[in-house]
Structure 1
Amino acid sequence: MQPGRGIALKLVSVLLFIVMASLVKATSGHVPPGQAVFFRSFFAMPIIVVWLAARGDLSTGFRVESRIAHVWRGLIGTAAMGCGFAALGLLPLPEVTAIGYAAPLMTVLFAAALLGERLRLFRLTAVGIGLVGVLVILWPKLSLGDPTDLAVIGAGLALASAALRALAQIQIRRMVQHEETSAIVFYFSLSATGFALLTAPFGWVWPAPWEAGLLIAAGLIGGVAQIFLTSAYRFADASVVAPFDYASMLFALAIGYAIFDEVPTWPMLAGAALIILAGVVIVWREQRIGLARGKAREGLTPHG
């Protein structure tokens, strides 16, 4: 194990995913979310294929044990990505990032309900604290009292994305028992590309050259970020690198302020602090009780 290298890889992947989200956000005023998912997934595939070939894992990356498992993982992950990209067009980047931190909290609940994992009082309390943080972020929008307000819709989409990512994590935990991580990563990009194409009749547009350039860059950067993320778990335990997910808040705050002129609100910062605290406590607790999450985390991205 090389924990320093693993942490460095994780931080680079986190930064790249935030840059990718920023590129998608920059085009969200004109390009529909489903079309953005297509670009993100399609242009990530060549990067992933080259990476698999360089590692000598091309054969395992194409090998499938359960097609239906990959279909479900692709469907859930594509829906999560679509909701997340739609939320980016309606909310500030730091808020979408903060609400997304609810995904690991929901994973704990879903694991208890769907996988039969024991939900001890300590972890349940941490989840409760995190969900209070989510409510703190959402409260200014919920208090508007207008369910058609764009901010309310954006918050709902961000929360739906987090819930779907949690379900994707559960699906991946099942899959890693018989599927290679490389296959999970490759077939997610492939299936997400296919599912995204199905949204074409619902309003795809012809992007301007600069929009197409940003979306292609988002796909390429997303593919590189996935490689760095997967590699991070090969050099360090999940309990070591997982807390560095929350560095994305620093990157999101900086990019949101510098590029999109987004000033964070105190409820967003307070809620994010509670969610991050809960997430770190859960990772620490899972390490103490010996729960293995590394292989499942390798196959998941912050957007699906």
Structure 2
Amino acid sequence: MALYVIIVRLLVVAAVASVLPVPGRAAAGAGAGLAIGFYNETCPRAEELVLEEMRDIVHEDKTLGPALLRLLFHDCFVRGCDGSIMLKSKSKKGERDAMPMSASLRGFDEVERIKAKLEDACPLTVSCADIIIMAARDAVYLTNGPRFPVETGRRDGKVSLCEDAVNDLAPPNANIVDLKTYFSVKNLSWKDLVVLSGSHTIGRAQCVAFAADRLYNNSGKGVQDPTLDKAYAPGLRELCEPGKKKDETKVEMDPGSPDGFDLSYYKNVYGNRGLFVSDQALLDDKWTQHYVARMAAAESTEEYFQDYAAAMINMGRMEVITGDNGEIRKFCSAYVD
């Protein structure tokens, strides 16, 4: 209970910079129109129903928890947290069709499954955008992470463009300068960057997402990235050796602890065992490096869990649609022209 109170206070006092708003959306970082417990009167069991369904989903397939957490990142960083990652198009490609994520992004059916349960309880009340962030929060909780309060009240966007996903998402081989730029234009800080990167403590990644950069240093001749731990590289190379289907082979992002939300990600990064270039890059900035080192040496997850809750709230406020804008869809994977 004490941790929950601390987190709530954190969220209330969090300071955010003001930016010019996108028409029809709240200013990035402002969270205008959002509130903890937004559905308390209109759908009192909304968050409880999401958690119930998430328990079943993760019990059936534990890899879907990290998949749904990743889905939130892809939704929020492209046009804001508006559920547009779910939209389909009959005439052109949308966000979910952007390469390379189109081959590996998962969780669409599970969002629809949760949506159907909420539609039975409270028709046309809970947005797909809110379902995605609640499911991601519960994915963290169900892997032994914190269950923190999230703001809700988003409405769903009506536009989904492939080119937005290509331009707005930091690639896994991004350096620290690019990473900080991708985050800063979304009104997120260096601390949000290093804290949210810790989401890689759960889940697995396809070899195609990192092998060329980390194992072969883009040479094609087996020359590994010199920043990659020499004792760690041979095992990765065996898993991702040429001839294997790199779009199917998956590797633990947090070796030895892929299903537990803990601090071992930071221990691995500090020991040069970050799977992606973007993980290793956190050591190339004095502020992010200092945070990695502190979390790698921490004996308790309390500070990190508080920081993670605050960073998730910050990300969840990006370019949200609230009030009378947007819509509440019955089906999240609706077709748009």
TM-score by length of 2: 0.26
Larger Rg: 2
Q: TM-score normalised to the size of structure 1?
A: 0.29
Q: With CA pairs under 8 Å and 6+ residues apart, which has the higher RCO, 1 or 2?
A: 1
